[in-house]
Amino acid sequence: MNEPVRVLHVVTHMNRGGLETMLMNYYRNIDRTQVQFDFLVHRQERAAYDDEIESLGGKIYRLPRLNPWSRSYLNALNRFFVEHPEYKIVHSHLDCMSAIPLAAAKRAGVPVRIAHSHSSSQDRDLKYPIKLYYKRKIPAIATDLFACGDSAGRWMFGQNTFSIINNAIDAKRYIYNPMTREKERKKLGIRDNTLVIGNVGRFSYPKNHDFLVEVFYKIIGCCDAVLLLVGDGELRPAIEKKVQELGIEEHVIFTGVRDDVPNLMQAMDVFVFPSHYEGVPVTLIEAQASGLPCMISDGVPLECKKTDLVQQISLSEGPKAWAIAVVAAAKIPRSNTSKAIKKSGYDIVENAQALQRYFLAH
């Protein structure tokens, strides 16, 4: 029997983040007798998806944290590709810093080197000058350029030609079900008539949780509401402190990282996403597939709008205007949007087949 084509994905780790979840959606739906995913990660500790990756036949290799000035890191990176000549396709998801592993792959003679953009900006990142330097190198190092959307592609690759790989999902897992909604609310201790404002995302600067809490503070002053925050990250302690200082901790639920996001979305009434910047976030596709009204900032590209459930408002409007808009949006009735998601090209089955054909052709 012929062995499957093995594709090496280069990531930071495989915890439950947007790009990691996107990768797992594709991994679960490709024909693994023909294409197999392996992962080169930059953390020593195990991550949330590691067990599943290994159960699906994937290999996980570990490097130190990425440091372009560390001789020991660069030596380890170069040594990896020398010791693993079996990889003919390397697919990097490190945004601007993809230039570093892809350069090592190029030196080792890897013929297909893919840089994948998952964001439409990082200019507020303290490391942005460094990232900008490496971003400019990518077109000369990579053989193929991928992006989650048009904005992300233009930001990362400029005028260079790139292909869009949709952040596709298994839409049927998210279909709205009133019985599931009731069950999940009971688990969370939320009354049926309480307004539930939801957000799924890493607690980091781009996601703008600080502004979201300000919006919720305006809402809680006029109605019975709960803020359901799903995820974790470096800024979570600061957000927890802010919630306590505002005296609203009884109305805010921090779930941490969860593997039951489809069910948690059933419990929500409106999805609020006030990000400073995004690519095409997986969670927004998931929220629309759940039939949730979605309120997004002007930092989120409108190309994420796959249904009429998405409304955009500028961050400059301020928390009060956002609060009014969120409460109004929550009145939109829930419905089954799976057909709309599939029609928009974001159902995982067809997308996984297309990506599989690409890998087999290369």
Predicted TM-score (pTM) of this structure: 0.88
**3-state SS assignment for residue 5:** strand
Which domains are seen in the chain, by residue range?
5-168+347-361 (3.40.50.2000), 171-343 (3.40.50.2000)
Is 1's pLDDT higher than 70?
no
Q: Are 280 and 22 in contact (CB under 8 A)?
A: no
pLDDT at 119: 84
Which H or E run includes 154? helix 150-157
pLDDT band at 55 (very low <50, low <70, confident <90, very high): very high
Within 13 Å, how many C-alpha atoms sit on residue 362's CB side?
A: 21
165-178 per-position pLDDT tens digit? 999 999 999 999 99
Average pLDDT over residues 145-154: 94
Q: What is the mean pLDDT of the chain?
A: 94
pLDDT at 122: 63
Average pLDDT over residues 72-96: 97
User: How much of the chain exceeds pLDDT 70, in percent?
Assistant: 98
Average pLDDT over residues 207-234: 96
pLDDT at 177: 95
pLDDT at 103: 98
Is 96's pLDDT higher than 70?
yes
Left, alpha or beta for 316 (phi > 0: left; psi -120 to 50: alpha)?
alpha
114-138 per-position pLDDT tens digit? 999 998 776 555 566 888 899 999 9
List the structure tokens of 63. Answer: 């490097």
Average pLDDT over residues 150-158: 93
Give me the phi and psi of 119, to 5 degrees please: -145, 155
Within 13 Å, how many C-alpha atoms sit on residue 285's CB side?
A: 31
289-326 per-position pLDDT tens digit? 999 999 999 999 999 999 999 999 999 999 999 999 99
251-276 per-position pLDDT tens digit? 999 999 999 999 999 999 999 999 99
Q: What angle do CA 48, 49, 50 make, to 5 degrees?
A: 100
Dump the DSSP string for 299-341: TS-GGG--STTEEEE-GGGHHHHHHHHHHHHTTSPP---HHHH
